Amino acid sequence: MIDIHTHILPDVDDGARNFEESLKMIKESIKQGINHIVVTPHIFSPYIKCKTKNEIIKIFDEFTKNVKDAGLNVNLYLGHEVSYHIRIFDYFKHGEFLTLNNKNIILLELPYDRELETFEDLQYNFECYGQSLILAHIERYDYYSIRKLKHLKSNNVYFQINASSLMKSHRYFKKANKLLKAGLVDFIASDIHYNRINHMQEAYEFVTKNYGQDVATKIFYDNPSQLIL
């Protein structure tokens, strides 16, 4: 499996706090059946102290060497989870954040407290620069109805949900299923932090059982390998 949204890189955001914790998280990912991991530290988050792009690149290079030395059989890729910022498009033009694995695709976290009225302008601007957007954990934005999301979906806008949202007791279980039923889910990722449980295998089995093998293969393998690897 391919996990496109993780906070495994050590000591850069609210994810893994040190290398030992990163290794533990990677070992768990491998157990879950994941062999490709995109590390996506936060940037521009109003809640988290974030490192700069250049600092992240340096830490990632060192990290991949150390993971290899530890003998773990996993492929690592770099990106950012980019929190919406009023200057996000300027930041993009100045190369201040990372797309996923250097491809033309951006993992974007929207504000939670209000709908971004200018989203369609933003999407259009990125489209003009050949960039696609993946909206991170789309189920979490309470202001977005399924109807609204159908309207927002376009050829350069993709939706990601978290694997944990498909666990029955989860607050967003219903919404995540409505999205799957509507065919609006392009990616499912762990969004793993040191203090969260990795549910990718369970989520994969859940989607296979309830929505069919073709849908599961598309979400967990085909879309990420075609668009990001």
Q: How far is the CB of 137 from Fe ion (least distance, A)?
A: 7
- Site map for Fe ion, 109-148, x if CB under 5 A? ----------------------------------------
Q: How far is the CB of 21 from Fe ion (least distance, A)?
A: 16
Stretches 10-18, 141-149, 158-166, 189-197: which one binds Fe ion (CB under 5 A)?
189-197
Phi, psi of 48 (to 5 degrees): -125, 140
Nearer to Fe ion, 46 or 71 (CB): 46
Contacts 24+ apart (CB under 8 A), 102-106: 102/78, 103/227, 103/228, 104/130, 104/131, 104/132, 105/131, 105/132, 105/133, 105/134, 105/158, 105/227, 105/228, 106/80, 106/82, 106/131, 106/132, 106/133, 106/134
Q: Which of 80, 98, 191, 220 is close enough to bind Fe ion by CB under 5 A? A: 191
Q: How far is the CB of 106 from Fe ion (least distance, A)?
A: 13
Q: How far is the CB of 213 from Fe ion (least distance, A)?
A: 28
Looking up tokens 């993992």 gives: 107
Stretches 91-99, 190-198, 207-215, 220-228: which one binds Fe ion (CB under 5 A)?
190-198
Nearer to Fe ion, 81 or 186 (CB): 81
> Greatest CA separation found in the chain?
48
Tell me the C-alpha distance between 200 and 165, whole Å.
Answer: 11
Q: Is 72 within 8 Å of 24 (Cβ atoms)? A: no
For residue 57, the SS3 value is: helix
Q: How far is the CB of 195 from Fe ion (least distance, A)?
A: 13
- CB count, 10 Å around CB of 210? 13
Q: Does 3 bind Fe ion (CB under 5 A)?
A: no
Compute the residue count for the chain: 229
Nearer to Fe ion, 4 or 59 (CB): 4
Q: How far is the CB of 212 from Fe ion (least distance, A)?
A: 27
Stretches 11-19, 57-65, 159-167, 188-196: which one binds Fe ion (CB under 5 A)?
188-196
Q: Does 81 bind Fe ion (CB under 5 A)?
A: yes
Binding residues (CB under 5 A) for Fe ion: these are: 81, 191
